[in-house]
Amino acid sequence: MDKILVHGGSRLKGQVMVSGSKNSALPILAATLLTKEECVIHNVPDLSDCHYMLQILNHLGAQVERASGTVTIKAEKIVTEAPYDIVRKMRASVCIIGPLLGREKEATVSLPGGCVIGERPIDLHLKGFEALGAAVRIDAGNVKVLAPNLRGTTINLRGKFGPTVLGTDNILMASVLAEGTTVIDGAAAEPEVVDLANFLIAMGAKIEGAGTRRIIVEGVKELHGAEHEVIPDRIEAGTYLVAGAIAGDEVTLRNVVPEHLHSVTEALIKSGFRIVTGTDQLTIFGNGKAGPLKIVTEPYPGFPTDMQAQMCALLTKGQGISILTETIFPQRFMHVPELKRMGANIEMEGPSAVVQGVERLSGAPVMASDLRASAALVLAGLHSEGTTEIHRVYHIDRGYESIDDKLNALGANIERVKEKSGA
């Protein structure tokens, strides 16, 4: 297992190329199961989560070839069962249920467990499948979904924490081959849902309203192969923007859709940073300390929960008192105890972290607990004195393509070393 050592205090300057979006790529790769024909997907990030998804597709019978960022998939003949061993490594593997159900009218997939950011149920996905006419059964840790006839209907997917992103993806993928019209109310409007819809449309699906709270799908008989380029990863981009705010003299992100980052750039500007927006690039000037912010995570276009931990890392050494409130995953604050070990002054009040900016942070051994919390620890290390030693970095490799190399290319001083056994 690797650990990452961040030697704090370097200044960052230069350009960083943003990779393809993990949260777009995963459902898009799953959607290739909807056709027997070949699909070619470009800009697939080289991440462990994407490798897991390709392994799952391979297990289901698809032929998968990968050359750099391009993946070619042909799922001519597939099976409909994905056991625990295959899906347990990644919660997002749940999004194979929709395409299996759409194409083969059945799926048996091991249920995802909870994870450190909360319980993460899939009740809304199952409610959607049932509304489309599927029988859903939980048996021996598996969810079995069976629907000899999938029929379009109106489904409200809104849950108590707002819309569900993968739930919307799943119902969308099941409904494109259903009979008649499906209306998904309370749909997630994230750019990743739009990207999936665009890929499905390229495959011959009839979808309107992706990117709004109401998506309308007119079922078609079959889908064909298609070629698609995954959108840039707005969360990876947001993470490098925060790195630029923390330690950047001038950092330019290339290959971004600035509109997708609006709530993040707005918050950073409010905090006192200068950002220059180009057509597909953003430049941040990181001189000075972050001003205090009140951030509330919300579904898109609101401030993303996936950026909350990174902003927390910035604000720990900011001015005054900042408050970060989670409305989507109220327990998503595993970074807080680790940041406190580095000298941060943070108090939890229910689903809010109250951050009193401190003058100095000091590097310490810390534990990565989930993807975005790990990114926050790397960022905190950039403005800490001494060395921050981050263990369990496999979390970070799930969602960031070579974060150490990309930050080092900007001038950071980060090492990746093998843990000694027993460490």
What is the binding site for ligand UD1 (CB under 6 A)? 23, 26, 92, 118, 120-125, 159, 161, 164-167, 188, 192, 305-306, 328-329
Count CB atoms within 10 A of the CB of residue 339.
29
Distance of closest approach, residue 110 Cβ to ligand UD1, in angstroms: 16
- Compute the distance between CA of residue 347 and CA of residue 349 in angstroms, rounded to an integer: 6
Whole-angstrom CA distances from 136 to 142, 147, 240, 301, 407 are 10, 9, 42, 32, 46
Distance of closest approach, residue 37 Cβ to ligand UD1, in angstroms: 25
- Compute the distance between CA of residue 366 and CA of residue 387 in angstroms, rounded to an integer: 11
Distance of closest approach, residue 236 Cβ to ligand UD1, in angstroms: 12
Specify the residue, 28 or 34, whose C-beta has the smaller distance to ligand UD1.
Answer: 28
Count CB atoms within 10 A of the CB of residue 221.
7
Specify the residue, 234 or 383, whose C-beta has the smaller distance to ligand UD1.
Answer: 234
Q: Is 39 noted as a catalytic residue in this protein? A: no
- Give the 3-state secondary structure of 145-186: EECCCCECCEEECCECCECCHHHHHHHHHHHCCCECEEEEEC
Whole-angstrom CA distances from 24 to 28, 190, 276, 346 are 6, 10, 26, 33
- The two tokens of residue 281 are 């690039």
- Compute the distance between CA of residue 279 and CA of residue 209 in angstroms, rounded to an integer: 25
Specify the residue, 120 or 213, whose C-beta has the smaller distance to ligand UD1.
Answer: 120
Specify the residue, 16 or 165, whose C-beta has the smaller distance to ligand UD1.
Answer: 165
104: buried, middle or exposed (CB in 10 Å: 19+, 13-18, 0-12)?
Answer: middle
Distance of closest approach, residue 72 Cβ to ligand UD1, in angstroms: 22
Specify the residue, 71 or 342, whose C-beta has the smaller distance to ligand UD1.
Answer: 71
Evaluate whether 163 touches 187 at the Cβ level (below 8 Å): yes
Catalytic residue among 50, 95, 115, 312: 115
Distance of closest approach, residue 128 Cβ to ligand UD1, in angstroms: 9
Catalytic residue IDs: 115
